[in-house]
Structure 1
Amino acid sequence: MIRYIIQRFIGMIIVMFLVVTIVFVIVRVTPGDPAAVMLGPEATQADITDLRAQLGLDQPLVMQYIYYVGQLMRGDLGQSIFLNQPVLSALSERAEPTFFLTLFSIIIACVIALPIGIYAAYRRGSFIDQAATTLAMFAASIPSFWLGLILMQAFAVRYGFFPVSGYGGPDASFTDRMWHLSLPAFALGLVSSALILRFTRASMLDVLGDDYVRTARAKGLIERKVILKHALKNALIPILTVIGLTVAVLISGAVVTETVFSLPGIGNLVVSAVLRRDYPVIQGALLVIAALYVLINFAIDMLYLLVDPRVRY
């Protein structure tokens, strides 16, 4: 088990090193001078020279990379040009909406997908199974931002059940802020449930015909216990994998949804940074999202130890 954990941890470090290198190279190979692009066409040559010195772009490429890696190891993601504050501070200030949007979305996705996927596999070939598969394919083809606009028009503009956009005022309570996340979370959760549903159904179908399931039924166990305790437990590995990947995709994919609903999250910050050519913020957001992606995968690998004893050995 210790060897398994060490291998996964080393793999995580290697992946993050590659991500840092790729992000560093992308900015340097972008056509034009990054400092000139960030400052815009009205910047003077003196302003461009000062910014290049501030960002370390006037140093040799190897020295830039060493300085960049050392900066990251100190937890310094750089300084935002337009916000005039550290990138890490800007990201942390906008982390709450993105965190709760992702949390509520994955909860909604699992609540929809897991029961339907399990029951569809149990009733394989039935009308319910075919309907669930069809709806999953339909949901997977719907863009989350389009669904968000439809929900906004129907339940916010027409009937006024939910707020149209925003995250509440400065003095808004926690409940009010979470209420503002209802529509965007449902839009993301419904679309994300399609993949989890299909993997749940496929994984359950793989184990329902195994010998230990037939043995459990032959012993006289009730069907619910056979399905949930014996079959589902052994089908959890691929289900946990797809749930972890879905969480990572939701974190990075909430950009458009946050923009549609005017949520002051990391996604909205990234869109603004792209429009302003604020490269330090773009780099920092990419690194944070990649780090979260890797950490989620590492956490899923650790969960394998709990659900499948074979992984420990």
Structure 2
Amino acid sequence: MLAHIGRRFAGLLLVLFIVAALVFFLTRLAPGDPAALMLGDQATAEDIARLRAAYGLDQPLPLQFALWLKEVASGNLGQSIFLQRPVTQALLERAEPTFFLAMFSLAIAAAIGIPAGVASAVWRGRPVDQTVSGLAMLAANIPSFWLGLIFIQLFAVKLGWFPVAGYGAPEAGFAERLRHLLLPAAVLGVVNSALITRFTRASMLDILDADFLRTARAKGLSERRVLLGHAFRNVLVPVITVLGLTLALLIGGAIVTETVFGLPGIGNLVVSAVLRRDYPVIQGALLAVAAIYVLINLLIDVIYTLVDPRVRY
């Protein structure tokens, strides 16, 4: 087990190095100079050159990359060009909305997707199955920004149940923060429930005709106990896999939803950084998201051994 985790951790470092290289060099391919954008149209060539030298932007790209990797290895993601503070601090300030949005969205997606997938598999070929499959296909193809605008118009503007946008005042408590997050979380939960529904349905269908389920029924166990106590327990591994991947996607892919709802999360920070060509923030944010993604995958591997004793490394 420990040897497997060690191998996965070594692979994690390799993935992060590849992500770091791609992010670093691809951001430099985008047109625009952060120094020129920061100083404005009235800046002279000498002023721009001076600012570029101050941030090391005049160095060769391989040297810049090596210096940045050295800082990252020491736990420093760099200094934001526009925010004038460490990238790590900027990310931590924006992490709370993104984290809670991802967790609430995952809870809603799981609450919709898992029961719907089980019901669709149990009553396969019947109206329930056809309805669930159709709704899952519809949810998978709805753009999150469009659904977000519909939810804002209906639940925030017309009914007034939720705030239109924002994250509340700085002194707002957790209940007020939750009220601001419920609508965007519902949007992401509905959209991402489609994958969980289809994955749960497919996993359940693979096992419903298994011999051990027929044995359980022959022993006189109720259908509910057969389905929940035996069938569903045996599909926990693939369900946990899709839940973990969904969580990783929610953390890294909520940019559009955060922008629509005006949430001051990491996604909104990255959008602003891209517009400003704030290289350190873009690099730091994407590297942090990639690290979370691979760590979630590593955690899923560990959880496998807890939910299914047959899994051994």
TM-score normalised to structure 2 length = 0.94
CA distance in 1, matches of 2:147, 2:281: 29
Partner of 2:265: 265
Which residue in 1 is equivalent to 2:4? 4
Instruction: Name the structure 2 match of 1:89.
Output: 89
Q: For the Cα contact (< 8 Å) 2:33–2:277, is it kept in 1?
A: no
The answer (yes or no) to whether the contact 2:16–2:291 under 8 Å persists in 1 is yes
* 1:312 shift after superposition: 1.2
Higher deviation after alignment, 22-31 or 133-142: 22-31
Structure 2 CA distance for partners of 1:270 and 1:62, relative to 1, 3 Å = closer
Q: Map of 1:240-255 to 2, 5 A cutoff?
A: 240-255=240-255
Conserved? CA contact 1:38–1:277, under 8 Å: no
Match of 1:74 in 2: 74
CA distance, structure 1, for counterparts of residue 256 and residue 70 of structure 2? 33
Q: Which residue of 2 aligns with 1:308?
A: 308
- The answer for the alignment partner of 2:293 in structure 1 is 293
126-135 vs 20-29, greater mean Cα deviation: 20-29
Q: Distance in 2 between matches of 1:207 and 1:182?
A: 35
In 1, the alpha carbon distance for the partners of 2:25 and 2:260 equals 31
Separation (CA, whole Å) in 2 of partners of 1:4 and 1:154: 50
The one-letter code of the counterpart of 2:216 is A
**Structure 1 residues 189 and 176: CA distance shift in structure 2, 3 A:** same
The alpha-carbon deviation at position 35 of structure 1 amounts to 4.3
Q: Can you give the 5+ residue segments of structure 2 that lack an aligned partner in the other structure?
A: none
Take 2:192 and 2:308, find their aligned partners in 1: how far apart are those partners?
25
Structure 1 position 176, deviation (Å) = 0.6
* Correspondence 1:104 to 2:104: yes
2:155 paired with 1:121: no
Unaligned 5+ residue runs, structure 1? none
Once the 2 structures are TM-superposed, how far is the Cα of residue 37 of structure 1 from its aligned partner? 5.7
Alignment deviations for residues 95-115 of structure 1 (CA, whole Å, 9 cap, x no partner):
111111111000000001111
Within a 5 Å distance, the mapping from 1:34-49 to structure 2 comes to 35-36=35-36, 39=39, 41-49=41-49
CA 1:21–1:221 in 2, change beyond 3 Å: closer, same or farther?
same
What secondary structure does 1:198 align onto?
Answer: helix
Q: In the TM superposition, what whole-angstrom CA distance separates every residue of 1:32-53 from its partner, at most 9, and x where no partner exists?
A: 6564466555432233323332
How many residues align structurally?
A: 313
With the length of structure 1 as denominator, give the TM-score of the two structures: 0.94
Higher deviation after alignment, 230-239 or 53-62: 53-62
Deviation at 1:274? 1.6
- In structure 2, how many angstroms separate the alpha carbons of the residues matched to 1:38 and 1:198? 48
Structure 1 residues 126-145: aligned runs within 5 Å: 126-145=126-145
Give the letter aligned to residue 109 of structure 2: A
Sequence identity, in percent?
Answer: 62
Report the aligned-residue RMSD. 1.8
Aligned residue identity for 1:99: F
Deviates more, 1:236-245 or 1:45-54: 45-54
